[in-house]
A = this chain, B = another copy of it.
Amino acid sequence: MKLNQFGRVTVSFDQQCQELTAIGFNVTLDQPLAAVASAAYAKLFPEALSNTAKAQALAAVAATAKLDLGAWLATKPTTISREIFYAVALQLLGFEPLTDYPLDDALGFMAKTQLPVVDDAIESAADFYAALYLLLCTRTKHLVNYLDDLANRGFYQDFQAGKAKPEYLFFNGKAQAVFDARHLRREVVWVESDLDTDEDGKRDMLEVTIFRPAATDHGVKMPVLFTANPYFHGTNDVDWITHKPDPTLAVKTHSHTRADVTAKVPAPTDLPHQPVNGESTTAEVYGDENGIYMFNDFMLPRGFVTVYSGGVGTRGSDGVRSTGGQSETDSAVAVIEWLTGQRKAFTNRTDGIEIKAWWSNGKVAMTGKSYLGTLSIAAATSGVAGLKTVISESAISSWYDYYRENGLVVAPGGFQGEDADVLAVDTFSRQKQTGDYLKIKPTWDRALAQITADQDRQTGDYSAWWDERNYRNHLQDIRCDVVIEHGLNDWNVKPANAIRFWNGLRDLPINKKLFLHQGQHTYLDNIRSLDFADQLNLWLSYELLGVDNNAPATLPNVTVQDNVTPETWHTYEDFGAPASDHEVKPLNLAADFKAPRASFADNATSIFTAAHSNSDEFEADIIKPDSRYNDARLWLGLPAFGTAVTLEGVPHLKLRLWIDQPTAILSVRLVDVGDALRFTPVASAVDPAGWQLGYDFKTASILEFKPEKQPSASKLVSFGHVNVQNQHNAYENVPVVPGQPFTVEFDLQPTHLNLPASRHLALIIHGADMAQTQRTEAVVNFHVDLAQSELLLPLRTK
């Protein structure tokens, strides 16, 4: 087990003493060590409410093989060896001598687990407080830091007692769980937007659900974690609208220019506002929907209000869905504007009783994964005031990169046949309120038909419609700091979404952080080997509560999970940059690769159909060294480098080829080859309810990425798909003449991969991708001019 930690701040000893005093330790540097230690240890059992109970707790901890902690303290030691201090410390952190570590080698276990230790034996009160401070900032077996663990057990339960107004508390730069999260105020209000997407001549009212600690009723203003969540009120059946992969691929007849495919700015609406007939500080509707995001819940007792809103077309709101269109950005921004005093909300949809976010400190962060994180990016590009940071996890930065690729319809991995219209239906939870739905059914039917037409499954080309959904067009408008988290094995929202976003942020005068893990489409908050939630606490305390904790400099710019050594996280200045740390290795497909042949006939669809296969099986089969698709692909083996190398960045492929048809799907996969126990892309539960989110509050699972139980022969590293008529970009079409050679050039998905010396790469060139592209039935013969083709492989050199 390794417990990496990057969110711990180094503070002066004076500061340590002040912080220890603030959390209730009676710091007295002139007392004997034994007295200081006895008093301090007794405080570390918040469950024990009497002296006898504390003595009982001390007796339950072993200090040595012979003495329990109470008995050992009774010997009035004048020195505490590191061995004894950490033998005790590990038990306090939740580890067990009989199973986790040998009682007489605590230091060995501390080192192996990467837990911090003081350098010398503890010989004075000052030494003890320094060691105690460090220990309180040390990670436990239960995901959280030791002080958080103490808080979960009641350490802070009397903190607010006797205070005129509830107060925040910070320790090591992070907000402490000093607010009771059990009796939350759960409220629903309606924000008046500038939209009228359901075309009823009235501004769309957007339902917003608020969870706020009761302390806000007693004068404390809190910042907000806002999650724009189209799934908040549930989803709908989409079987009926999910597309069947098409058996044909259209020959394109209309090329486009950049101007053609540039989104038009929609005309601003100018509808009358709801008249204000009064004002209230209390909501009229209780929020019965449960919060859905464990990290938000983790921050609630730390003094962060959490807010959810589904946006236009979701249950309780007006309007219709647009799958990432401007109206969804505007929905999220409208909520932020209300939270920051720039827009009106009402207690219901009709009476005009205004309600202010009077409990808000005016600072907002956005959180959430996937579609939720996507809307964080969208809102960030608005530059809206008060949005201080977004934490966008596994998010889409351009919807074209989610549903299309280089002039092809390409489904998100695992969701063959999904498209923008399918997701629109999925999230149109307004239909769940049938009384409301029946009134706008004709409008919604029209809007949905328009999405189906605009998404254009015929050509797969980029268009003004997709351009509206490319948030990277507006990165220069971002005013807030950005945290990006993404899985290097996320073939649903593919890594290009994160890396293209990251690259676009590089030169902006904002703080930005990037986290890449070895999972697929998942959260990072509860992965045991990284202190992600704690880092975010540091970040949000800085961003939203103005704590001077040096968070931007403390947190690494880029944190990447290793793919070979378990529980190992690397930190870097940047990703794929700077050039001095990287090289691009050009690899000629003839000279550098071993290719048995240069031609293949793509009959993958007929093989797939005959085998009654499915998308998951195809994904597995196509990358096997020996596969039922052997004849329908080129397997180009790259001899082992002879040394371990680290790929980092965007592989780029230039292919010279000819085919015997006027169009074709071309797919390529870069794979890591060689028997090995690679990590499973789904993290396993190591403690199913082990993460406690606050005192007497919710729990969540603790997970870790584990090695496979059986070795695998190969693993997907990166891939790319292209319509051969889109040789330059996703909107210009170049006719292909059967038998005539042409060149096509495109990026693969970004990667970061440690390739051990014992393994090698292979490049697989094939045609239709059963899991992601259309399933074309015409057999296309491909002939690759290997000598005129090359792969540009990005490597990290230091």
Contacts and interface: CB of A to CB of B under 8 A. Distances in A.
Interface in A184-209: 184, 186, 188
B350 A99 contact: no
Interface in A273-329: 283-288, 290
B62 A438 contact: yes
B52 A351 contact: yes
A38 to B, nearest CB: 15
A154 B185 CA distance: 13
A280 to B, nearest CB: 9
A97 B237 CA distance: 12
Nearest to A289: B47
A610 interface: no
A699 interface: yes
Contacts of A154: 286, 288
A103 B59 CA distance: 67
A338 to B, nearest CB: 19
B48 A285 contact: yes
Query: Binding site of A, secondary structure by majority: helix, strand, loop or mixed?
Result: loop
* Chain A residues touching B, range: 35 or more
A257 interface: no
B68 A436 contact: yes
A653 interface: no
Interface in A398-439: 431-439
Contacts of A788: none
Interface in A151-177: 152-154
A182 interface: yes
Nearest to A182: B182
A250 B350 CA distance: 84
A49 interface: yes
A689 B61 contact: no
Contacts of A49: 283-286
A740 interface: no
Contact of A91 (B46, B47, B58, B434): B434
A433 B290 CA distance: 37
A237 B103 CA distance: 17
B98 A434 contact: yes
A347 B61 contact: no
Contacts of A350: 52, 56
A65 interface: yes
A152 B286 CA distance: 12
Contacts of A99: 236-237
13 contacts: A47-B287, A48-B284, A50-B348, A52-B347, A56-B348, A60-B433, A60-B435, A61-B434, A68-B438, A70-B435, A96-B432, A98-B236, A98-B434
Contacts of A698: 698
Given A96-B432, A236-B99, A434-B62, A52 B183 contact: no
Contacts of A188: 47
Nearest to A190: B56
Interface in A237-269: 237
The listed residue with most B CB atoms (<10 A of its CB), out of A63, A283, A436, A698, is A436
A53 interface: yes
Contacts of A46: 286
Nearest to A439: B68
Contact of A435 (B52, B69, B153): B69
Given A434-B103, A438-B65, A52 B284 contact: yes
A54 B62 CA distance: 61
Interface string A116-149: 0000000000000000000000000000000000
Interface string A49-89: 11011001011111101101110000000000000000000
A351 B698 CA distance: 34
A432 B283 CA distance: 49
The listed residue with most B CB atoms (<10 A of its CB), out of A59, A348, A351, A435, is A435
A252 B349 CA distance: 83
Contacts of A70: 435
Given A182-B183, A696-B184, A284 B53 contact: yes
A304 to B, nearest CB: 18
Given A236-B98, A350-B52, A435 B63 contact: yes
